[in-house]
Amino acid sequence: MAYRCTIRNNNYVFEDLKTVLAKASPMRSGDVMAGIAASSYEERVAAQMALADIPLIDFIQTDIIDYDSDEVTRLIMDNYDKLVFQQLSHHTVGSFRDWLLSEAANTETLTSIAKGLVPEIVAAVSKIMRNQDLITVAQNCEVVSRFRTTIGLKGHLSTRLQPNHPFDDEKGIMASIIDGLLLGNGDAVIGINPATDNPEKVAHLLMLLDELRIQFKIPMQSCVLSHVTTTLQLIEQKAPVDLVFQSIAGTQKANASFGISLSLLKEAYEAAISLNRNSASNQIMYFETGQGAALSSNANEGVDQQTCEARAYAVARHFNPFLVNSVVGFIGPEYLYDGKQIIRAGLEDHFCGKLMGLPMGMDVCCTSHAESDQDDMDSLLTLLSVAGCNFFMGVPGADDIMLHYQSTSFHDALYARKITNKKPAPEFASWLYQEGITDTEGLLLPTNELKTILLNSTL
Amino acid sequence: MNQQDKAQNIEIGSKWQSLKKYTPARVALGRTGNAIPVKEMLQLKVAHAFAKDAVYAAMDVHLIEQSLQQLNFPVLSVCSKAVNRKMYIQRPDLGRQLDDASCIMLQQNSKGFDVGLIIADGLSATAIQLHSFPFIQQIVPLLQKAGLTIAPIVIASQARVAIGDTIGSILQCKVSVVLIGERPGLSVCDSMGIYTTYQPAMGLTDESRNCISNIHAKGLDDYTAAQKTFLLIQNSIAFKLSGVHLKENADIINLQ
């Protein structure tokens, strides 16, 4: 079905839903590369005007990617909560945007509608929202996840401590972990990206993290971000797997290029649950996503990258994750060219994830070949802190020496907590105090007053 | 604070500093308030500048050709469809395709080989300039000793990893080995990666490849990288596959 809009006697006709979505998307290099972006500023606004008038029900009645050939579409259409959607079905995309910004949309109502939303609706509404709208609504959402720490409570801000090392040297990794813990980081997870996917090596790293946790009684989760097939193999060998990690995307073909399928994720979820390591909830999955993932494997099926990204959140949601984050600037400037595009995408991803009910964090980051720098990262970090992002990355000096990109530092997390008056996860904050790292107010003690024995006995 | 406490606290300060011994990561930076102190802050900026400059550096094809001639190997130089750096950065699809003249030239050398070695600038010509020749010097004798035939070495400018699929399929290689400059980071702007693909063909994606990354002065050395690559090639030929299904376990089995 075609959608239309007329501006200054220019008649714009958009042949179907995915065309309107693509042309209404704020400008980004990936959609230009895919040949689906609006060709002028006017056409983009025309698409946004057309989009604002589309009834939400159209997104239920139309599969933007074919139901029979794509298992992600089947997952979406078979699993959204139809009763909840009924309450929203009178809206157009435009009136839904206005409702989201109204007083009626408080934390409770936003929580209650999450399961009724399909990702295409969430992506659509984000395209006609300004940055401040994305922040306002996301800030109203509260998505809490529980393992040994509680992540996502209002007034709290957590980090994934990311202690990567170019060849997985255990002492090198441990040095970065201690540095991060002493700076109050690591309450979401201590998560290592291994340099190789060698199962034996990954098992060693998991053991290292688990021993650290037990020795110092740290309320923490650990994860080695290996491919899900490697993790499955390690679970069979009874390795201490807290969280199953996997990169995911929003189309079946893109997931295939990651070497995964929904049934494989289900198998991994069930295997990890059987280890019984999380006594607080069934949340044991950790997913990473990012705009451009589908296009990078030629698997976007003509759909714009931000809508593909929202579809990945439907995949994540199905497995009740403990953590999800977009790696917004990681995939590169061919998808998000500069600081402006990265900042916009970061706010969209956080908003879409939260509105769909995900415990959303963000890797505020860029690569060295993007037109952006640490000032842009500071801007996005600040905006997302205000928006209530559950967690950021903590990388020593913001410099990941294994993955070769700029993320956020341990110090950045301290800054973000300070300016938004937030604390680490409650269990972790207590540990920092007991360990002699912070004072009674939760502030870091000066180095010469630290009482911790972490430095004495780990290296 | 008593004397004993004071002694312990001084020790903690110096112990924190000693973390630097164990990792090249930016640990023990200290803090002023919640911020990174000025000296370290500027160190980060200059590292960013090095990385930006590496991205825009051009590969000296002639110099690499001269080095390779020492090995008495035929060398072929090709270009992708990305005509300059800016286009290369924004259009990876063009960096994956050979330009027409290069295709025709390669077709004249198409006769079937076990292994195709491809040197591609990627996002750091600096890395390729430093590490490609030393690596080739290490791996060629290993391949020859194993009786494997090697295609003419191809140097590809403004190239992405997947250009190896086109090159490998035209030259009819069983396994393509792409040496490529990895995107520069803040600590290292000269890191090389290696991607091996069994039966390279247009349209393959990353799950069909095996990767060895972080080859640079502070990372994996050329010798070890060549050994690992050689094992991947041998396993790929033996098991007739590459990618996620060829786990590194297989290497260990073979080593034993």
Rounded to the nearest 10°, the torsion over CA B132, B134, B135, B138 is 160
Provide the mean pLDDT of chain B: 90
CATH code at position B174: 3.40.50.11240
Give the integer Cα–Cα distance in Å for A353 and A384: 13
Give the integer Cα–Cα distance in Å for B20 and A459: 12
For β-strands A150-151 and A145-146, DSSP reports them as antiparallel
pLDDT averaged per 10 residues, chain A (length 459)? 94 97 97 96 98 98 97 98 98 98 98 98 98 98 98 98 95 97 98 92 97 97 97 96 98 96 98 97 98 93 98 98 97 95 98 98 95 96 98 97 93 98 98 94 89 79
Are A302 and A125 in contact by the 8 Å Cβ rule? The answer is no
What chain A residue is nearest to B217 in terms of C-alpha separation? A166
Which pLDDT value is given to residue B88?
Answer: 94
Residue B81 maps to a domain: yes
Instruction: List CB contacts of B235: < 8 A, sequence separation 6 or more.
Output: B246, B250, B251, B254
Q: What one-letter code names the amino acid at B102?
A: S
Q: Select from A443, A419, A188, A156 the least CA-distant residue to B31.
A: A443
Domain count of the fold of chain B? 1
CA A288-A289-A294 angle, 5° bins: 140
In A, which residues are within 8 Å of B25 by CB distance?
163-165, 172, 175-176, 179, 395-397, 399, 401
Residue A368 to residue B185, Cβ atoms within 8 A: yes
Which pLDDT value is given to residue B254?
Answer: 47
Residue B253: how many other CB atoms lie within 10 Å: 9
CATH 3.40.225.10, applies to A145-448: no
In B, which residues are within 8 Å of A406 by CB distance?
48, 185-186
Domain with B165, as residue range(s), is 56-255
Give the integer Cα–Cα distance in Å for B31 and A241: 34
Residue A414 to residue B247, Cβ atoms within 8 A: no
Residue B151 has what DSSP assignment?
A: P
Which pLDDT value is given to residue A457?
Answer: 67
Considering only the beta carbons, identify the residue of A166, A175, A200 that sits closest to B219.
Answer: A166
What chain B residue is nearest to A336 in terms of C-alpha separation? B90
Distance to chain A for B78, nearest Cα, Å: 23
Given a cut of 70, is residue B6 above it in pLDDT?
Answer: no
ipTM: 0.95
Helix (H) or strand (E) holding A174: helix A170-182
The separation between CA B227 and the C-alpha centre of its own chain, rounded to angstroms, equals 15
For β-strands A399-400 and A405-406, DSSP reports them as antiparallel
Which pLDDT value is given to residue A251?
Answer: 98
Residue B62 maps to a domain: yes
Are B171 and B113 in contact by the 8 Å Cβ rule? The answer is yes
Which pLDDT value is given to residue B5?
Answer: 59
Q: Could you identify the residue written with the tokens 């000066």?
A: A446
Instruction: Name the band, by pLDDT with cuts 50, 70 and 90, for residue B65.
Output: very high
Which pLDDT value is given to residue B7?
Answer: 58
Residue B12 maps to a domain: no
Given a cut of 70, is residue B19 above it in pLDDT?
Answer: yes
Q: Could you identify the residue written with the tokens 């200054």?
A: A8
Listed by start position, the domains of chain A span: 145-448
Give the integer Cα–Cα distance in Å for B176 and B117: 6
Residue B8 maps to a domain: no
Residue B206 has what DSSP assignment?
A: G
